[in-house]
Chain A
Amino acid sequence: MPGIDECLLEAMRLPGARGAALVDWTSGLALGAVGEAPGGDHETTAAEAAELARMAAEHGTFAAGGDDLPPVEDVIISNGDSYHLLRFVDTSFDSSVFLHLWLGREEGNLALARIRLGEMAARLVLG
């Protein structure tokens, strides 16, 4: 069963992966980070990504309809040279974490990464 570091290293094996982190969106703390971060600073990246994730998680507009569903699965940002993929981790205990994967746009495959990151998020907490 993978731990946090194994999960992040697995994410880094995706084509085009530049950096990956596990972030708490309430506090903005990176509980783990590997690879590069935009601007070179994982802490700043975590705080800013947490801000985005919190907005998505807290606003009813983006929430799924069913009560038993997690409100949001992913947040995807694309820019001229990269993608940011934020995958919420649905834990059986109370938490507010997501996986953040930064992908180069040339080599990255957003659809594949989205599926794989979802699987990794599930394996991280479900085994």
Chain B
Amino acid sequence: MKILVCISNVPDTTTKIKFAEGNTSVDTAGIQWVINPWDELSLTRALELKDDVTSGIKSVTVIHVGPAASEPTIRKALAIGADDAIRVNAVSSDAWFVAAQIAEVVKKEQFDVIMCGIESSDYNGSTVGGMISEFLGFPSVSAVSGIKFENGQPVMIREIDGGKEVVTVPVPFIAIVQKGIAKEPRIAAMRGIMMARSKPVKLVEPVAIDPLTQIVGFEKPTPRAACKYIDADNPEQLLDLLQNEAKVI
């Protein structure tokens, strides 16, 4: 079986976000780009499955929708261990656009398992994985925090409000994964970095799709009032403030 791992290219999660062009876009100057954290965990788990001969997983391909400038992120995924990559050569305009592009690729090239992170740390949309599934008519399982294969069938842990379910769906399917799917992201070793240079990155031109949404402006979160300090020996004062000023206890 073949796994396709969808990866998004996002600002390093410690980036201080600044806006440009009259608050209509994010100022990308000086931003370090990384693999979206959930996608990095997803890739790690896909590679662990490939390492396990009993899983039946033979290859791991990564796909990214983005311009040539996002190549370093794709190379990083290859250095971590993906076998090959596909880049849809387009600036991603919204989740609908990205999902439609990935679905088009999957229609032409057969994959058994598609893995997507549950959200990206930039747009926080949580929609691309589900949209790909619907475009393809594949079953999907969301909020997956564990995945393994038994006799060629997936066994997944799905997080629900206040618990977990163990679920399965037939192959091919889409797993929309969250924290827990892998313990820690796999890090590229020097050998992997060397090998990544010669791994194939297939370039695909986008299909014409009009996005359904558009960001027209950004604003910063409402600033918070300055901190009131309370003496460590006087917790009663804190409780008084929480009861009578904030009125939250």
Our verdict on whether A and B bind, yes or no, reads no
Point out residues on A near B: beta carbons under 8 Å: none
